[in-house]
Amino acid sequence: MSTEFARGTRLRNAFNKETFVFSGLLDNRDVARFGVILEKGGSGGGNALVHVHPGADEQFAVKSGRIKVVVDGREQLVDAGGSVTVPRGRPHYFANAGDGNAEFEVSFMPAQQHLRFFANFVTLTVKQPKWFSSAGDPNFLLIALVLHTYRDHMYLAGVPIWLQKLLFAVFAPMARLAGYRLAIEPLSEAATSGTSGFAA
C-alpha cells in the first residue's frame, strides 16, 4: 500500500490504450490535473463506461489530436486548442476520435483525491491484470473496494448512487477477504492539507 507517487510518472492502461502522465501536485485541494495520451481507438473513463463524478467538475483541454466527449448522450468533438467541461454529476465518457494519438489535460475541480484514484486504477491494470477482464473491465469486487475506499469520486451512471454506496460498502470487506488490495491508498481527511504527496 502506497501513499506516495513519483512525480513525472507515466502509466499505461493497455486495456484501453490510455497513458496517464502525472506531473503536477498529487494532493492539491483546489485542482487535480494530469496529462492523458489516448492512442488511436483508445477510450477513457473506465473503458468508455458511462459514469459520473458527483463531487467535482471535469475539464478536458486538448493539446493535439481530437477526442469525443459524450455528456448526457450528446457527443462533442474537441480538437487541439479546444476544451470542454463536464459539470459534476453529469453522465459522460470520452474516447479518441482521430486517426492518431490524442494528447490532452484533464482537470478536476475541486481536486478531492482524483489523482490518487486514477493512479490507483491504472497501477492495478499493470500489477494485477488478472483482476480485469480481457476488455479491461475491473472485477466487481475490485470496483466495490476502490469505489468504497474513494467514496464520492466516481459512480456508474444509471444506477442510483445511494444503492451503489450500499452495495460497495457490503462488498468491499469481501473484496479484501478475497485478496484484493489497493495499489495507492487515499489520504485521511485530516492529511489533505495541500502537501505534494510525491516521492522525492
What tens digit of pLDDT does each residue of 39-97 get? 998 887 555 678 999 999 999 999 999 999 999 999 999 999 999 999 999 999 999 99
* Structural contact between residues 69 and 59, judged by C-beta atoms closer than 8 angstroms: no
Helices (H), the chain: 45-48, 114-127, 140-149, 161-177
Q: Tell me what pLDDT residue 49 has.
A: 79
- CA-CA distances (angstroms) from residue 164 to 14, 59, 122, 139, 154? 27, 25, 22, 15, 10
What is the DSSP code (8-state) at residue 28? Answer: -
| Residue type, position 38, single letter | L
Could you tell me the pTM of the whole model?
0.86
What's the pLDDT at 22? Answer: 83
Element (DSSP H or E) covering residue 96? strand 92-96
The single-letter DSSP state of residue 185 is P
Q: Is it the case that residue 145 has pLDDT exceeding 90?
A: yes
Give the C-alpha separation, 32 to 22, whole Å: 10
pLDDT of 3 > 60? The answer is no
Q: Which of 44, 47, 38, 35 is nearest to 9 (CA)?
A: 35
For residues 9 and 167, give the distance between their C-alpha atoms in angstroms, rounded to a whole number: 33
Residue 38: pLDDT over 50: yes
Q: How confident is the model at residue 193 (pLDDT cuts 50, 70, 90)?
A: very low
Across residues 21-41, what is the average pLDDT? 82
Quick one: average pLDDT of 8-37? 82
